[in-house]
């Protein structure tokens, strides 16, 4: 097994795509380039917080020398033979074109080929780049823990995502105004090393089209197809259409997974949409606790709730529309793009129906009326039922009788018994319908339970759990962080010793910053 620090780098992205001709590191508009070379900032006193043994194992590499690993993963020294760079992209933020954005605080420090697939490794928070605008290029421990734990947790939940290799503290202080209310504070600086076969985003294409730079738009599209969608064949007008269709499919599958596990991204701007359909850029994300399609964890979005749980598919479609506009100059036909966009809506509804049926342990889809699922959602919302807890309890009692079912409702609701009582009738009607459906299916109870448990996680990274790990880590104690990391490696396993994490959000967390409300400040 290779030591990752000695493995030869590949430079696929930086060799094949156009580089910014200017190499000095100052804020600017970068034209006719996919990236700009930029050195990482040297941290004062880097130290390791955690690394992902699982990602190392997945990539079939190891670490020999911890102190050299920390120096590389904190940007103190570069990877051998690699000139680091920040990527250029634009994006629509909250529905408005924002122009050039780019990696304002991410720097790619290596590319490697693993099993014929190229991977990019990037440090988030390793100093300013030409894309930093007014930002400092840094990240704090709080948000880095959230990104590190969640991206690995999502991977183990089976949700397409970028990965995280390591988390280090820089030993430097970073000033942030968490609530944007004029109370800036010094926080500990940190860096996550993210890894992905590609960090190309919808916005990477949009920036070229917005500048009418069709030559480079085509270079980027051809590169993406040749390396990441090579099964589509040689790039041509027809292939670009197929490519768009594939991106739409992967995006749809990703959103279905988010809805299944109750994940709310929080900032689905087009610069945060991966061209590979991976979950990317973990900022003010959150996990649905009491079921509420209108919920968003992002305080910056609290007025319009554009990125609320129940709107993620519509926003994905809106974002795909922007990608279609960006690819149009290569295709010059509206109809095939429009067809793909309208298919997204229909296919999404079919997939969503199937996913919810799987969560319920129902498999004869044609027998499940849409209204039945709607009634479930209405009941879950009105009774303020914890999404993860409810479906897992349901999986555990897959041969319920009505009293058992009502016990689940009582146990998983955030309402007190008195407030819950008026909703009992609605649940009773729904439950009798449910029992009829699964009796007709005639599936073996154990088989059904196993299938349900494979789609209904027992453990997710609830916002308060991440916050507890952050509170300890800020004091230098990483035990809880490590415990949660281990717990979330097997989110579908029963892990009875870990039952303290199998519970509703505690009351104290309901309105605490970091547990229910998050801003983009990170």
DSSP 8-state secondary structure symbol assigned to residue 79: P
DSSP 8-state secondary structure symbol assigned to residue 458: S
Does 132 sit near ligand AMP (CB under 6 A)? yes
Does 272 sit near Mg ion (CB under 5 A)? yes
Does 103 sit near ligand AMP (CB under 6 A)? yes
Instruction: Tell me which stretch binds ligand AMP (CB under 6 A): 136-144, 319-327, 364-372, 418-426.
Output: 136-144
CA–CA dist 229, 189 (Å, integer): 37
- C-beta of residue 86 within 8 angstroms of C-beta of residue 109: no
Instruction: Tell me which stretch binds Mg ion (CB under 5 A): 175-183, 275-283, 417-425, 485-493.
Output: 275-283
Quickly tell me which residue has 């294409």 as its tokens: 205
Give the contact letters, 355-394, x = binds to ligand AMP (CB under 6 A), - = no.
----------------------------------------
Select from Mg ion, ligand AMP, none the partner in contact with residue 187, using the beta carbon and a kind-dependent cut-off of 5 to 8 Å. none
Q: How far is the CB of 107 from ligand AMP (least distance, A)?
A: 10
Which one, 105 or 257, has the nearer CB to ligand AMP?
A: 105
- C-beta of residue 2 within 8 angstroms of C-beta of residue 114: no
Among 75, 127, 130, 137, which residue sits at the site for ligand AMP (rule: CB under 6 A)? 137
Does 284 sit near ligand AMP (CB under 6 A)? no
Among 30, 34, 73, 138, which residue sits at the site for ligand AMP (rule: CB under 6 A)? 138
CA–CA dist 87, 124 (Å, integer): 12
Catalytic, 2? Answer no
Which one, 317 or 518, has the nearer CB to ligand AMP?
A: 518
Which one, 163 or 201, has the nearer CB to ligand AMP?
A: 201
Among 95, 99, 135, 476, which residue sits at the site for ligand AMP (rule: CB under 6 A)? 135
Cα dihedral 300, 301, 307, 308, rounded to 10, equals: 110
Q: Which residues of 202-234 are buried (b: 16+ CB within 10 A; e: fewer)?
A: bbbbbbbbbbebeebbbbbbbbbbebbbeebee
User: Active-site residue among 103, 213, 222, 271?
Assistant: 271
Which one, 65 or 94, has the nearer CB to ligand AMP?
A: 94
CA–CA dist 318, 94 (Å, integer): 11
Instruction: Tell me which stretch binds ligand AMP (CB under 6 A): 58-66, 102-110, 164-172, 456-464.
Output: 102-110
Does 210 sit near ligand AMP (CB under 6 A)? no
CA–CA dist 467, 304 (Å, integer): 26
Q: How far is the CB of 498 from ligand AMP (least distance, A)?
A: 31
Which one, 108 or 132, has the nearer CB to ligand AMP?
A: 132
Beta bridge partners of 112: 119
Phi, psi for residue 19 in degrees, rounded to 5: -95, 150
Does 46 sit near ligand AMP (CB under 6 A)? no
262 C-beta neighbours (distance < 10 Å), count: 20
Does 101 sit near ligand AMP (CB under 6 A)? yes
Quickly tell me which residue has 């985003």 as its tokens: 201
Does 267 sit near ligand AMP (CB under 6 A)? yes
CA–CA dist 387, 406 (Å, integer): 15
Please name the residues in contact with 283: beta carbons below 8 A apart, sequence gap of 6 or more: 143, 147, 266, 267, 272, 298, 518, 520, 522
- C-beta of residue 461 within 8 angstroms of C-beta of residue 488: yes
Which one, 147 or 281, has the nearer CB to Mg ion?
A: 281
Which one, 111 or 147, has the nearer CB to ligand AMP?
A: 147
CA–CA dist 42, 84 (Å, integer): 13
Does 84 sit near ligand AMP (CB under 6 A)? no
Does 281 sit near Mg ion (CB under 5 A)? yes
Select from ligand AMP, Mg ion, none the partner in contact with residue 257, using the beta carbon and a kind-dependent cut-off of 5 to 8 Å. none
Give the contact letters, 291-330, x = binds to ligand AMP (CB under 6 A), - = no.
----------------------------------------
Secondary structure (DSSP) of 397-442: TTT--HHHHHHHHHHHBSS-HHHHGGGHHHHHHHHHHHHHHHHHHT
Helices (H), 157-236: 202-210, 214-228
61 C-beta neighbours (distance < 10 Å), count: 18
Select from ligand AMP, Mg ion, none the partner in contact with residue 46, using the beta carbon and a kind-dependent cut-off of 5 to 8 Å. none
Select from Mg ion, ligand AMP, none the partner in contact with residue 267, using the beta carbon and a kind-dependent cut-off of 5 to 8 Å. ligand AMP
Q: How far is the CB of 520 from ligand AMP (least distance, A)?
A: 5
- C-beta of residue 158 within 8 angstroms of C-beta of residue 140: no
Among 102, 160, 235, 262, which residue sits at the site for ligand AMP (rule: CB under 6 A)? 102
Which one, 95 or 369, has the nearer CB to ligand AMP?
A: 95
3-state secondary structure 468-480: HHHHHHHCCCCHH
Among 47, 54, 77, 104, which residue sits at the site for ligand AMP (rule: CB under 6 A)? 104
Which one, 188 or 242, has the nearer CB to ligand AMP?
A: 188
Phi, psi for residue 126 in degrees, rounded to 5: -100, 30
CA–CA dist 304, 320 (Å, integer): 20
Q: 87, 146, 54, 163: which is closest to 515 by C-alpha?
A: 146
Binding site residues, ligand AMP, CB under 6 A = 101-105, 131-132, 135-138, 267, 271-272, 281, 283, 520
Binding site residues, Mg ion, CB under 5 A? 272, 281
Query: Which residues are identified as catalytic?
Result: 271
């Amino acid at each position: 097994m290779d030591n990752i620090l000695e493995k030869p780098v590949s430079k696929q992205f930086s060799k094949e795509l156009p580089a910014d001709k200017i190499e000095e590191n100052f804020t600017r508009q970068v034209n006719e380039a996919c990236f700009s070379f930029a050195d990482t900032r040297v941290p004062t006193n880097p130290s390791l917080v955690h690394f992902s043994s699982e990602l190392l194992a997945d990539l079939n590499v190891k670490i020999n020398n911890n102190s050299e690993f920390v120096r590389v993963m904190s940007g103190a020294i570069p990877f051998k033979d690699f000139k680091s760079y920040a990527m250029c992209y634009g994006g629509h933020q909250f529905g408005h074109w924002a122009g050039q954005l780019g990696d304002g605080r991410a720097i790619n420090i290596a590319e490697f080929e693993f099993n014929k697939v190229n991977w990019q490794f990037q440090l988030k928070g390793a100093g300013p780049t030409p894309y930093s605008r007014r930002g400092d290029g840094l990240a704090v421990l709080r948000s880095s823990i959230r990104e590190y734990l969640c991206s690995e947790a999502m991977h183990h939940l089976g949700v397409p995502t970028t990965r995280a290799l390591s988390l280090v503290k820089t030993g430097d202080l970073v000033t942030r105004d968490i609530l944007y209310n004029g109370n800036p504070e010094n926080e500990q600086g940190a860096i996550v090393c993210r890894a992905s076969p590609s960090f190309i985003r919808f916005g990477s294409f949009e920036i070229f089209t917005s500048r009418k730079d069709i030559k480079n738009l085509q270079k980027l599209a051809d590169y993406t197809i040749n390396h990441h969608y090579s099964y589509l064949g040689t790039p041509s007008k027809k292939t670009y259409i197929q490519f768009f269709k594939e991106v739409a499919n992967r995006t749809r599958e990703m959103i279905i997974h988010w809805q299944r596990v109750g994940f709310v991204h929080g900032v689905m701007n087009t610069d945060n949409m991966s061209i590979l359909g991976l979950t990317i850029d973990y900022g003010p994300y959150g996990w649905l606790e009491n079921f509420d399609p209108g919920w968003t964890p992002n305080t910056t979005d609290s007025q319009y709730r554009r990125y609320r749980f129940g709107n993620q598919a519509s926003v994905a479609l809106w974002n795909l529309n922007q990608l279609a506009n960006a690819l149009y100059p290569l295709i010059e036909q509206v109809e095939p793009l429009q067809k793909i966009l309208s298919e997204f809506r229909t296919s999404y509804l079919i997939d969503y129906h199937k996913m919810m049926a799987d969560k319920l342990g129902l498999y004869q889809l044609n027998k499940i009326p849409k209204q039945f699922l709607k009634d479930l959602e209405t009941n879950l919302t009105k009774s303020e039922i914890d999404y993860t807890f409810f479906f897992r309890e349901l999986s555990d009692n897959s041969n319920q009788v009505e009293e058992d079912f009502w016990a689940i409702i009582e146990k998983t609701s955030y309402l007190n018994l008195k407030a819950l009582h008026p909703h009992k009738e609605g649940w009773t009607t729904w439950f009798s319908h449910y029992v009829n459906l699964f009796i007709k299916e005639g599936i073996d109870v154990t088989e059904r339970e196993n299938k349900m448990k494979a789609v209904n996680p027992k453990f997710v990274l609830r916002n308060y759990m991440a916050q507890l790990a952050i509170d300890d880590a800020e004091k230098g104690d990483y035990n809880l962080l490590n415990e949660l990391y281990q717990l979330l490696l097997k989110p579908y396993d029963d892990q009875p010793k870990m039952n303290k994490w199998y519970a509703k959000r505690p009351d104290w967390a309901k309105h605490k910053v970091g547990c229910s409300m998050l801003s983009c400040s990170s």
